[in-house]
Amino acid sequence: MTPIALTIAGSDSSGGAGIEADLKTFSALGVYGATVITALTAQNTKEVRAIHAVPAEFVAAQIDAVFSDLRVNAVKIGMLWQAEVIETVAAALGRWDPGNIVLDPVLVATSGARLLAPSALELLKRALFPCARLLTPNLLEAAALLDASVAQSEEEMREQGERLLGFGPRAVLMKGGHGAGAQSLDLLIEPHDCMRLVADRITTRNGHGTGCTLSAAIAAGLAKGLDLAEAVRRAKEFVTAALAAADALKVGSGRGPVHHFHGIWPKQHAY
């Protein structure tokens, strides 16, 4: 059977993050992608100019349409924007009970634009964290979710990840991309285990969509039947390579996207 992953997220009109990044990632990794769009954004490589919410009942209709026909092997959840959509997604996932849910708690865009209404934060934790096989916060998101200071050390990353486990996800991936130093450290934290994932930190201005791409790559691995640790390991390798190749893309005048198709496109097509 063809492995299928579903992304439930917002649309990025510049193509670098959100639904568009997820579909590119699924395709690059050999997984068929289906979509449920929760919000439309008017954005480019420099800014988010506007957000248009998709009505919650239409989000539900999309989810039910996909699950009633497609055999979905994994779900990635990204931008949800409003409380009504969070409630709708939680209820729909309760109806269909998919096994592999990767939840990327998208709160704020790199440009600083809010991608989740502040009033919806507690609902996100209460309604969706217990559904997640994996939660994938970066250091800033973890701090916001816990109302804490941003972790400054590996010990603090692990402590915050363990606190997030208390909200119900089966595992937490603490992403260290916003940290400092020559290496980027992520921690895969489970109730009785912690796996370190280390890669050289890539210096590039083109990192738009990194978080979306990583969570989508993990979902792709789970859709193909990998265990969680291997799916996370391969996803980090994919994103590291996409960052390393990102400067080959000439897209926009701001913070450009990672290169999702670095392993597919002939090099001359990247310019």
User: Each residue of 231-264: pLDDT tens digit?
Assistant: 999 999 999 999 999 989 999 888 999 999 999 9
Q: Tell me if residue 209 falls in helix, strand or coil.
A: coil
In a domain? residue 113: yes
The reply to whether 193 falls in a domain is no
Please indicate, yes or no, if residue 59 is contained in any of the structural domains.
Answer: yes
CA–CA gap between residue 30 and residue 2 (Å, rounded):
9
pLDDT for residue 111: 59
Cβ atoms of 105 and 81 closer than 8 Å: no
Q: Are 246 and 11 within 8 A, CB to CB?
A: no
Q: With CA atoms as reference, report the closest residue to 161 among 191, 202, 132.
A: 191
pLDDT at 112: 58
Please state the domain count of the chain.
Answer: 1
Residue 189 within a domain? no
Answer yes or no: is pLDDT of 15 > 70: yes
Whether residue 31 contacts residue 40, with contact meaning beta carbons closer than 8 Å, is answered with no
Q: What is the pLDDT of residues 89-143, one digit of tens each?
A: 999 999 999 989 999 998 876 655 666 777 788 899 999 999 999 999 999 999 9
Q: Rounded to whole angstroms, how far apart are CA atoms 18 and 49?
A: 15
Please report which residue ranges of 100-257 form alpha helices under DSSP H: 121-127, 139-146, 154-165, 210-223, 228-244
Task: Tell me the residue range of the domain where 263 lies.
Answer: 4-137+207-270
Is residue 167 in some structural domain? Answer: no
Q: What is the average pLDDT across 60-68?
A: 98
| Identity of the residue numbered 183 | Q
In a domain, 126, yes or no: yes
pLDDT at 271 over 60: no
pTM above 0.85, yes or no: yes
For 202-240, write each residue's pLDDT tens digit.
Answer: 888 898 999 999 999 999 999 999 999 999 999 999 999
Structural domain includes residue 76: yes
Which residue bears the tokens 């400054």?
Answer: 152
* Contact by Cβ (8 Å): 22, 78: yes
Report whether pLDDT(146) > 90: yes
Q: Is residue 213 part of a domain?
A: yes
For residue 60, give both structure tokens. Answer: 């539900």
Confidence of residue 172 (pLDDT cuts 50, 70, 90): very high
What CATH number is given to the structural domain containing 102?
3.40.1190.20
Q: Mean pLDDT in the chain?
A: 92
Q: Which residues contact 20 (CB under 8 A, 6 or more apart)?
A: 11, 12
**57-67 average pLDDT score:** 98
- Flag whether pLDDT at 182 surpasses 90: no
pLDDT > 80? residue 266: no
Residue of 142, 85, 91 lying closest to 119 (CA atoms): 85
Tell me if 36 sits within 8 A of 257, measured CB to CB.
no
DSSP 168: S
- Cα dihedral sign, 133-139-145-146: positive
Q: Tell me, what's the pLDDT at 270?
A: 47
Q: Smallest Cα–Cα separation from 173: which of 199, 137, 206, 128?
A: 137
